[in-house]
Amino acid sequence: MKLSHRITQITGGGSDGWDVFYKARRMIADGIPVTELTIGEHDIPTSPDILNAMHAAAIGGHTGYAEVPGTHALRKSVAARIANRTGVPTTAENIVITPGGQAALFAAHTAICDPGDTAAYIDPFYTTYPGTIRGAGAVPKPIVTSPQTAFQPTAEALMAVTKGARSLLVNTPNNPTGVVYSAKTLQRIADACIANDLWLISDEVYDTQVWEGTHVSPRALPGMAERTMVVGSMSKSHAMTGSRVGWICGPAEAVAHLVNLSTHTTYGVAGFVQDAADFALNSGTAVEEAVAAPFRRRRALTMKALEGQNVVRAVPVQGAMYVMLDLRATGMSGEEFANALLEAEHIAVMPGESFGQAAAGHLRVAMTVADDQYVDALSRLIAFAGTCAGHTTRRSPRA
């Protein structure tokens, strides 16, 4: 029997870009030690206090169907968090709780785009973006950026690509590049949305991980609140990746329709998990700072490790739990280098090409292992790059 074009073409008929990751996992399954610097998974677990709150809620009986829009308490807490951070008045009516940020991205595009509509996004991009758009029935269209502009989109590219589109998806702090969009870039985004009458979907799941500059939600810019849906999540801010708690913040009318969509798809998020998320959000910013601290520290370690050589260069490491490294001096593609590194050094990283052609010749390195292990792997990566480029660089002994 034939399956739908929509589901069989989610990845566009090609690779999903995770080949190196899958290869590394096969090596690990075969008993070969591999240092994984691939996915955005914290190396610390969810706080015991949050887990205790989840346990208490479950034992207390909150295990049946929860309110589909999200519990009123959690919606209020999310709204208060957003209002406090952005200055934009926000209430529970502006919030729908989703099973993680990925479900929120899909729901937002489903709410905004009719089949065949063009949905724009920035390249480099998180790997699921084009597939999410295709899954919602829309046509993905990249706005290609450049290393020369630190992967921030130009006004010309934004205006040209979004003309005739229905939506624009942006992500700052950015995965995979680690770049935080400047005030000028955000205004360009707003100008393009207003000029071309677009909905903006703003993925802000890394808003607590800013190392340089300031995170500004584009929803806070003049004329943008009524045309913006913000995607948020507990995953990165509170190390709750497996709990699957996310949200969409948007105009109340749109949120009412999104609740109807949830009724016919996910039917909400487990109540005891929502109670734990509500507890976490009301535990203060110290919890978020503790989760972010290892990545702030490893950012400094990255800058130190890159000193004294000129083969491996970092894209400005301004936010998120990743560093994007420019390997073009080796003469290799990111995919070629990542595969060679895995074979020679048993270090797994993501090729820049996994995130679009704008990042060709780059790598995304997740700063998600213990400091000593991270420094060792990064030093070996730099030395390997030097060898590939025909240079002599420092080399640390393998652990």
Tens digit of each residue's pLDDT (9 = 90 or more) over 122-164: 999 999 999 999 999 999 999 999 999 999 999 999 999 999 9
Q: What values do phi and psi take at 201, rounded to 5?
A: -105, 115
Q: What is the domain range of residue 211?
A: 48-284
161 and 251 belong to one structural domain: yes
C-alpha separations of 158 from 39, 162, 178 in Å: 29, 6, 20
8 Å CB contact between 299 and 317? yes
Domain termination residue (choose one: 284, 319, 336):
284
Cα 266 to the center of its chain, rounded Å: 21
Q: Counting beta carbons within 10 angstroms of the beta carbon of residue 183, is it exposed (0 to 12), middle (13 to 18) or buried (19 or more)?
A: exposed
Q: Do 182 and 34 fall within a single domain?
A: no
Q: What's residue 328's pLDDT?
A: 97
In tens, the pLDDT along 5-56 reads 889 989 886 666 688 999 999 999 999 999 999 999 999 999 999 999 999 9
Q: What is the pLDDT of residue 13?
A: 66
Residue 35: give its domain's CATH number. 3.90.1150.10
Percent of residues, the chain, with pLDDT higher than 70: 96
- Claim to verify: residue 149 and residue 254 sit in the same structural domain: yes
Residue 366 and residue 375: Cα distance in Å, rounded?
12
Give yes or no: residues 167 and 252 share one domain. Answer: yes
pLDDT at 393 > cutoff 60: no
Number of domains comprising the chain? 2
Nearest to 202 by CA among 175, 233, 171: 171
**pLDDT tens digit sequence for 82-108:** 999 999 999 999 999 999 999 999 999
Reported as a single tens digit per residue, the pLDDT across 228-258 is 999 999 999 999 999 999 999 999 999 999 9
Distance, CA of 175 to CA of 112 (rounded, Å): 23
Measure the CA–CA gap between 307 and 319, rounded to whole angstroms.
Answer: 20
Pairwise CA distance, residues 190 & 82, whole Å: 19
**What distance in Å separates the CA atoms of residue 52 and residue 48, rounded to the nearest whole number?**
6
Between 393 and 283, whose confidence is greater?
283
* Pair type for strands 246-249 and 95-98: antiparallel
Kindly state whether residues 159 and 64 are assigned to the same domain: yes
Which DSSP string do the residues of 282-326 spell out, in sequence order?
A: TT-HHHHHHHHHHHHHHHHHHHHHTTT-SSSEEPP--BSSEEEEE
Tokens of 179: 């770049």
In a domain, 115, yes or no: yes
DSSP 127: T
Alpha helices in the chain (DSSP H): 5-8, 19-29, 48-59, 72-86, 100-112, 129-135, 155-162, 183-195, 252-263, 271-281, 285-305, 334-345, 371-389
* Domain-ending residue, one of 259, 284, 309: 284
Cα 60 from Cα 104, distance rounded (Å): 28
Q: What is the pLDDT at residue 18?
A: 81
Same domain for 142 and 241:
yes
**Which of 284, 300, 330 is the last residue in one of the domains?**
284
Regarding whether 122 and 152 lie in a shared domain, the answer is yes
Q: Are residues 125 and 199 in the same domain?
A: yes
Do residues 168 and 120 touch, judged by C-beta distance below 8 A?
A: yes
Q: Is 350 inside a domain boundary?
A: yes
394 inside domain: no
Cα–Cα distance, 130 to 119 (Å, whole number): 9
Residue 396: inside a domain, yes or no? no
Query: d(Cα 335, Cα 369) in Å, to the nearest integer?
Result: 22
Is 398 among the domain residues?
A: no
